[in-house]
Chain A
Amino acid sequence: MIRTPWLVASAMMLALATPARAQYAGGAAGTETRAPAPTPPKPSSFEALSAGDRKIGRALFLAQRPTASGPAPLSLNQIADLKAHGSWAKVFVQMQSRGLLQAKNLGQIVNGYQRSETRHPPARVSNSNRAPTLVTGGDGSVIASSQRGGISHGGDVVGETGTADIAAADKHSR
């Protein structure tokens, strides 16, 4: 015979077990049966552009200079949508008329983008010359720092501990 307390207890155990599984799923991914991944989203309008068009679109995107009270900057997809209705020159004019661009012409933007691409590759780790970004535990201990060999965090890996790093970072920032 199944008694009511056991039914309640079983339901509670089930509720407890589900989030716990979620927290540790990363560590035991190889042994657990994973939920099916969601269907991959269809390519965005920006991704549907050719490689050359993506470069120009990204150059326009990065050339935006948003201000607090000004218009919202356009996303890559929004820029690609504008391109779908006209040439890049038209897109440039539209963005310029909205006050999103300060450059005088499209060539200036693309040249500037190409120069910055050769100077700074897109993938990067944190710059050691700047003040570090710290991830700390609830007790103030530093779990990860952007200054030492890039940012590392998550799981059970505890890279650094101690509040000295925070003090040093504060000192560095002043």
Chain B
Amino acid sequence: MKILRIVAPMTLGLLLQGCAAGAIGITLATAGAGAGMTAGVEHTLNGIVYKTFASPANEVRFATLKTLDRMGMPLTDDQKTDTGWKLSASAKDRTVDIELESLTDMTTRIRVVANEGFIFLKDSATATEIILQTAETLQDDAAVARGERRRKASAQ
């Protein structure tokens, strides 16, 4: 019984350590957007950031590639997987791993992990910024597409 008194709180500590950043972890809400993006709540756990976009995987991947290029993070890996795409990029002593999971034809979930030097060190600030910038790129792309459609319609 004595050992339980020591081990139980520690086990609880292990299970709850991801919640240190906020009340129940950090959540990310994107309010108002084109490209089918409305207010949503995403979660991070130990520096892993997620977001689901109401956009096809092709468009989310392209927006992610453009974002990485704009942020000056060279792509080191780009592979198609069974469920979507797996991308990797580098930034100083960090490696950024991005997984795009195609949930439906029009819905894609992005998962970003920025590993800082060693596998246990996560840079959640950079991972969050990549998702925020990707969301903005998607909005820009949607605006450009709308403009092109409008121009074509007015030309006809």
Contact = CB atoms under 8 A, between A and B. Distances in A.
Interface residues of A, number: 70
B17 interface: yes
B125 to A, nearest CB: 3
A25 B116 contact: yes
A173 B46 CA distance: 31
Contacts of B13: 16
> What bracket does the count of chain B residues touching chain A fall in?
35 or more
A21 B120 CA distance: 9
- SS class of chain A's interface: helix, strand, loop or mixed? loop
B153 interface: no
B69 A61 contact: yes
Interface of B: 2-3, 6-7, 10-11, 13-14, 17, 19-33, 38-39, 41, 46-47, 56, 58-59, 61-62, 65-66, 69-70, 74-76, 78, 80, 85, 90, 93, 95, 105-106, 116-118, 120-125, 128-129, 132, 135-136, 139, 145
14 contacts: A12-B11, A44-B74, A46-B74, A58-B69, A68-B56, A72-B58, A131-B33, A136-B29, A137-B26, A139-B22, A153-B129, A154-B128, A155-B125, A173-B39
